[in-house]
Every structure is written in structure tokens, then in C-alpha cells.
Amino acid sequence: MTDNAIFVGESDADQYLLLKYANRHGLIAGATGTGKTVTLQTIAEGFSAFGVPVFMADVKGDLSGVSQAGGTNPKAVERAQQLKIEGYAGHAFPTIFWDLFGEKGHPIRTTVSEVGPVLMARLLQLNDTQEGVLNIVFKVADEQGLLLLDFKDLQAMLQWVAENASSLTTEFGNVSKQTIGTIQRALLTLDQQGGEGFFGEPALALADMMRCDPSGYGAINVLAADRLMQSPRLYATFLLWLLSELFETLPEVGDLDKPKFVFFFDEAHLLFDDAPKALLSRIEQVVRLIRSKGVGVYFISQNPLDIPETVLGQLANRVQHALRAFTPKDQKAVKVAAETFRPNKKFDAATTITELGVGEALVSFLDAKGVPEPVERCFIAPPRGRIGPAIDAERAAVIAASPLAGKYDKVVDRTSAYEVLTGRVSAGAQGTSPGEAAPAPSTPASGEALRRRGQYGSVPPTAPASSGPWGPRTSSPTSTQAPAPPPAAPPAEPASPRPEPRLKKAQTADPAPEPAPKPRSTGGRQPDSIGVTMAKAAGRSITTVVAREAAKAVFGKGKGASIGASVLRGVLGSILK
């Protein structure tokens, strides 16, 4: 078992995580300060020792020590002696540092199109209506052949859709300018949080993470997430995007002797907080099906209740550190954690979880037949890398010696939606050549033959890597591979007149001028002259006097005379009109 399994700890018997079932996913849970990070480092080093590359987020900054040789920590040495690990010594593992902001590692970028409207909507915290409009934007860009690579491409496309909302509504549905404005404001907020640097080119190539060094150790990819955690939604969206890229890119391989890649998702509750039902279904589908791609996913969280039951049921390999049952919610979490294990008649799991010390855990892995083993209380094995962070100078030295040095440093801004919509053409850089290959790390000194115990001891023979600055693997760890020649520089684009936007639907160039106002016409008869007007006024006065006197003569004085005078005035007035 020691040649195909990671030694995790010891109880009444050694506890191993079988590589064959490592793609059945797993969970590392426990309260703060109980040893989750050390357990994560031990398991990650075990995968690396067997030639399996891993990815993990360094939330607190203390996982960077895996790049430096350890073995001098008194507690680690004491634990190695307690577990009788022969020949325990420190080892610096091949490490690649990454950072979305490009400060503590190689920059990580992807394009807006690769992220897609669903993840982008979650990143921007859009509602259903706003997400629908964002889907229209992506659809229109795809139909028009416009590349959405970075922030300014998406902003320009949103502006164009708003200006052409009336013509798009009949084909795609209602597009409100107010909704477009809301999305633009959300993009501005994300930009202020540093999210703009995540979008652009050169985009991350997954093959750069899935590599091994010449001695056969898998690369440990460490994402600097201490600053990224200030934008938890960006952190969770990035990791979900990376997991989705692995799922969509890697081919089906079925069950292998060991996984091709292992993904550790620290602070896993951030992935599921406020996630819509459709996104949760997508996460469950990826976790369930990515196993056949040769990828193992391990969630790290303080509480098992942070993981939805539909996902929790997919996690076969479990390490549970101590939980503190101070509140009713904590007591429920202890009960749930205990019930997820296969019972052991020797002790009560629910009671033991609250009694575990630092570096102790309840573990249950799949056995040789793929059946969960009864839960065991064990002491976790110590890592061989440094326990604690690497200093800035050590991190800088690792980054400079990385086989990816210089590959992602310079931003490439090629012609995309922004340039087309604004009628501009930029001859942006086409990328930079990778740096020279790092010197091959030395293998542990060969001495007296020691009893092999999982990843502790000599590295078993592994198949050569396909390619890369750290490969192919050779029998001699001191051999290096000559760096690949830099790609030929692209020919300069000839000067050309400013192109017109190549869109199928656009606004008219200039609105038609409004017609000059017509002179106001006076309908009906012509206006009277001054003389005619004076004659008519005199006639009306005479008519009034005559009517009044005639009425008095006929009807006498009183009410009847007034009525009669009014009737006569009306008749005579109509005659004189």
C-alpha cells in the first residue's frame, strides 16, 4: 500500500489516502487553530511526491513555506518521532506562485468570454433581469464576431447595446437602458476592487499548472489569496471558473492509478454563500462528473454545514478536526459531522470531535475496494516543507527561477470589441517568450535504504511528463532542458485608414435635419379693416338701444321687457354680422 498511497497519520493502524481513489474528492473540516492548514500541506506534499500536480489557495499566507525545506520545526520533529517515520527530513517542493493582482506571483488572467455571462452575473451580483440583459450582450457580441477580452470590451459592448436597444428588443426581448446603467455601475465597483486585472490576455493555460519537475515531483500551485479575500465574491468566482475550465478542457480518462490534478478549495463556504439555485446545480454537476476527468476536488471549511448536502455526499475522503460545541448551531454541526462517518464501535464520534487536540483528527478514507473505512482517531503526519510562510526574498527567488517567469507578466491588448466599436486599431503586443527553465531541484540524497511509508522516503518511478520547461522527466535529476526559442515576432500591421465598425446593426450616421417650421396660417375669413370694425361696433350699439326701446313699447317694463330685448338684440345682431 505504501507505493500507491499517501501516509496521512497513525491511530491503531496507519491511515492512508489511496491514490486510486483520490479523485473521489474529499473534505478537511475543523475549527480555527485545530491544524487544518498543516493537514492540507501534508496531503498536498504527498500528491506532489507521487507526481500529481496540485492547486491550493493560500488564504492566510502560511502555505508558501511549502517551497522551502522544513524538518526543523520542533513539533514536526516530535510528531515524526512519535509516528516512527524513518529518515524524516525537510524537502523543498517545486512551487509555482500565482496572484490575480500580480504582486506575489505570476499574474492570472482570463477573458470575459471565457468567464461567461452566468459567472459574470454572480461576480457583479446581478438579479435575474440584469443577468438576462447580460446574456443578450454576450449573444450579440458572438453574432457580430466581437471579441470580449477585457473590461473595456464589455463596457463598450454594453454601451452599444444601450444605444441600439430599440432595434434589439424585437429580436432578443426588452433591453432597458436603466438596466445597462446598473451593470456598468457594478463593473465600476469591481474595477475599484482590482477585478479589472483578472480580465485580459495572455490568458492562463491550464497546462502551465499541470506540470512536473524533472525529478518527478508534481508542481504545487499556490495562489496568493490574502488580498483576494478582501473581495470574497471575486475569489469564489475565480476558483469556480478554474474548476469549470478543468471540467470543460480535460478529456475523459475514467479511473486512473492516480489523479491528473488535485484542486484544494479553501474557505469553501464562500463558493456557496448566496449562490442561486442554477449555480448550485452547476457546481454539483461539476463535482460529480469531473472525477472521470482525473481531477480530485477537496473542500476545506470550518464547518461541514457550509457544504450543501448534494455536494457533501460526493466527498468520500474525510478529515475532521476538532469542533467546539458552544452554541446550539455548533452542537448541530458536531452531530452532522459525526453522522457522515462510518461508525466505529470503539468510540462515539460525536463526543470525540469535541475532545480532539491540535494535530489530531477523525479520518475515514476509501479502502482497496472503494468502501469507506470506519472512522479512526489519528495523529496527523508532519509535512516536510516549512510550516509557516516563506519570506519575501525567498518567494521572489522562487518566482524568478520559475519556468513561467516572464510569460504572463506583460499584458497583450489586441484588437477586440472596444477597438472595433470605437473604430480604433491597436497593434498591441503579441506576448512574451517564457523565461529560461529553472534549474532542476535536487532529489534527496541517497543513503541507507529506509522503509518506505507513503510519500516519506524515495520517490517511486513515474512516467515522463509530456512537455514543459520542467520536463520531460529524466532519470538524472541534474539534467536540464534547454529553453524553447522565443516565438517569432508578429509582422507589424501596415498603416491603414480608420476602419468603420463592422456591425450588422448600428445607428444611422447623422439624423436627418428637421424641416423648417412653416408659417402659421390663419384659417377662415380675412380679418376686417379698421373702418369695417368701427361700423360694426356702432351698428351693435344702435341695435341694442332700438331693441330695448321696442321691447318697452311692446312688453312694458319688467322681466318680460328684458327677455324681449334680449331676443331682439340676438336677431338684429345676426343680421348685422
Instruction: Describe the crossing of helices 112-123 and 151-163 by its angle, rounded to 10 degrees.
Output: 70
Q: Which residues contact 103 (CB under 8 A, 6 or more apart)?
A: 224, 227
Taking only the tens place, the pLDDT of each residue in 174-206 is: 888 899 999 999 999 888 888 888 999 999 999
Q: Which residues contact 254 (CB under 8 A, 6 or more apart)?
A: 292
The cell numbers describing 383, all together, are 509535512
**Which helix (H) or strand (E) segment is 297 a member of?**
strand 295-301
Sheet holding 95-99, edge to edge: 14-18, 5-10, 376-380, 360-364, 317-320, 26-29, 295-301, 261-265, 54-58, 220-224, 95-99, 106-107
Taking only the tens place, the pLDDT of each residue in 203-238 is: 999 999 999 999 999 999 999 998 888 888 888 888
d(CA 107, CA 90): 29
Identify the pLDDT of residue 531.
65
In three-state secondary structure terms, 488 is coil
Name residue, grid cell 379698421: 530
Q: How far is CA 31 from the centre of its chain?
A: 26
**Which helix (H) or strand (E) segment is 379 a member of?**
strand 376-380
Taking only the tens place, the pLDDT of each residue in 379-412 is: 999 999 999 999 999 999 999 999 999 999 999 9
Identify the pLDDT of residue 438.
41
Q: Could you tell me if 389 and 51 are in contact, meaning their C-beta atoms sit under 8 angstroms apart? A: no
* % of the chain beyond a pLDDT of 70: 74
Q: How confident is the model at residue 528 (pLDDT cuts 50, 70, 90)?
A: low
pTM of the predicted model over 0.85: no
Identify the pLDDT of residue 167.
87
Please, what's the b/e burial string for 445-481 (b: 16 or more CB within 10 A of its CB; e: otherwise)? Answer: eeeeeeebbbbbbebeebeebeebbbbebeeebeebb
Angstrom CA distances, 66 to 42, 197, 227, 325, 396, stand at 10, 27, 20, 33, 14
What is the phi/psi pair of residue 7, to 5°? -80, 115
DSSP 107-128: E--B-HHHHHHHHHHHHTT--H
CA angle, 373 then 375 then 377, to 5°:
130
Higher pLDDT, 430 or 463: 463
DSSP 313-375: TT--EEEE------SHHHHHHHHHHHHTSPP-TTS-HHHHHTT--TTEEEEE-B-TTSPBPPP
Name residue, grid cell 459525526: 338
Name residue, grid cell 412653416: 518
Amino acid of residue 88: Y
Identify the pLDDT of residue 453.
67
The cell numbers describing 166, all together, are 430599440
What is the phi/psi pair of residue 168, to 5°? -85, -25
The cell numbers describing 553, all together, are 313699447
Taking only the tens place, the pLDDT of each residue in 474-523 is: 443 334 444 445 555 555 555 444 444 545 444 444 555 555 555 554 44
Peptide bond into 472 cis (omega under 30): yes
